[in-house]
Amino acid sequence: MTQYYLYCILLCFFISGPAQTSIKNLLSVPFPKELKASVDGKNLAWVFNNEGERIINIAQAPNFEVKAITKYSGDEGVEIN
């Protein structure tokens, strides 16, 4: 009887199939990159990639509030370094 339940569970795994991943799903995860800091550590800058939109952000001491200095709509296909 336990083998029957084991076969049923395994059958459920095979019927569901693998999850489909698309390029859009992979690119939709926002991530920061190219983090740079001034020598004294009072200024920070980085590029934030959100679904292909590359936005340059800065933050300054003492409160380090984030300010976007570029605004793009859509993927331009150009890397920012």
DSSP codes, 41-66: SSEEEEEEEETTEEEEEEEETTT--E
pLDDT of residue 38: 93
How far is residue 16's CA from residue 47's CA, in Å, rounded to a whole number?
39
In a domain, 5, yes or no: no
In a domain, 18, yes or no: no
pLDDT of residue 80: 65
pTM of the model: 0.57
pLDDT of residue 75: 62
In a domain, 22, yes or no: no
In a domain, 52, yes or no: yes
How far is residue 47's CA from residue 80's CA, in Å, rounded to a whole number?
7
Question: Mean pLDDT, consecutive 10-residue segments, the chain of 81 residues?
Answer: 73 66 76 88 88 85 90 67 62
Judged on CB neighbours under 10 Å (0-12, 13-18, 19+), 61 is exposed
pLDDT of residue 77: 64
Number of domains in the chain: 1
